[in-house]
Every structure is written in C-alpha cells, then in structure tokens.
Amino acid sequence: MGGGKIRPNNAPTGIDRQATRFWLLVAFLVFVSLTGGGSRPDISSLVILRPVAILLCAGAGWMITADELRQHRFVLGMIAVIVGLTAFHLIPLPPALWHLLPGREIVTQIDLHAGLGQPWRPISLAPSDTRNALFSLFVPLAALLVGVGLRRVQLEGLLLIFIALGCISGLLGLLQLLGPQPGRYIFTRTLITASPPGCSPIETIRRCSWQRCFRCWQLG
C-alpha cells in the first residue's frame, strides 16, 4: 500500500539454493569422472581437479547456513578431524621432540653419518605422500559441503547419476579390454597395465568389480 514495494517471500530462496547445490554437485561428479579422480600422485589430471575442488570447498562453505552446520555437525566435525589430523602430520617439529617419536632411530643414524645435522622435520616420514593424502581429501570434502542440506529426493537423484557414471566407466573399460590391442588403452594408462582405465571417480570399484566380473564370465 501507499506505493511501497512488497518484499519477496524468502521461501523460494532456500529452494533456489538447493537447486543450485544439486546441479553444482552433478557437474562436479561429472568433472571428477572426466578428470579420472583418484588419490594416486601420478595422475596428471589432478593438477586441474584438486584446485577446482579447493575452490569449490571455499564456495560451498560460504553457502552453508548455521542451521545446516548444527544439523550435520557430527559429519562435518568428523571430516574436520580427519583433515586436521592429516595436516598435523606435516607440521615441522624441533629435533629434540622429533627424535623421541618411535621409528626414528634409522633416520637419526643416517643424519649422524651423513653429517646432515638435526633439521626440523614433520611427523610424517613420507611428507610428499602425506601432502598428497591431504590434498586428496578436498575432492570428497567438496562433494560433502555442496551436498549438505539437499533434500531426500535430490539425494536419490544423485545416487542414480552416480550409478550411471559408474556403469559408463565400467563399459568404457570393458570396451578397451575387448579391443584389438588389449595393451593399448584409449584413456590414461595406470601403473597396473592389465587394468583398462574408465572414467569413474571410484577406481577400486571399477577395477575390482568390472574386471573380475568379466573374468568370471570368461571362465564360465
């Protein structure tokens, strides 16, 4: 009345946010599949996937509301502990404290005989592998943060999309296995030359399930 503007209802805002998250998560799952998502450090496409996952974590964290944090505090707290514990192993410790940790005797002897002194070292004996493990956590973390707050019907739709991506990946791997030159694969070669790569974010399921099923079918 009086020429004033009526403020729009806030209800559609939440619906729009959920729809945005849903399609963003769908796009991310497809992107992970196309870039061969995995945790091995020798996958060249990870230089694209992991920075995108980190940026997506930042954007998804900005979209989370206080109610969603309270509702999913256990899951979010658990992943925070996992990420924090992994990062904690990369913190450099003073030599006096580092030498007190178990399993450091051989490294101490090497430092002594090689004249390396007593440098500060992280808790992890393989820092490069620990850094790889830390950055690999950002991919599932991004999916978790984007998917927080989705409705049940949207989660069921994501499950169907996830299954479809797995089937497409297994089919691609199977077609490459049945090709005229089994040693040559269309997509990126893995360290296991007998395993044809597909396009799935779940390397273990692709290798164990599809390849074993095909071998069982051959033996049968």
Reported pTM: 0.70
Cα gap 190→59, rounded to integer Å: 32
Tell me: pLDDT of 210 over 70.
Answer: no
Half-sphere exposure of 30 (CA within 13 A, CB side): 8
What does the pLDDT look like over 101-132, one tens digit per residue? Answer: 888 888 878 877 787 777 888 999 889 999 99
Across the chain, mean pLDDT equals 76
> d(Cα 193, Cα 3) in Å, to the nearest integer?
73
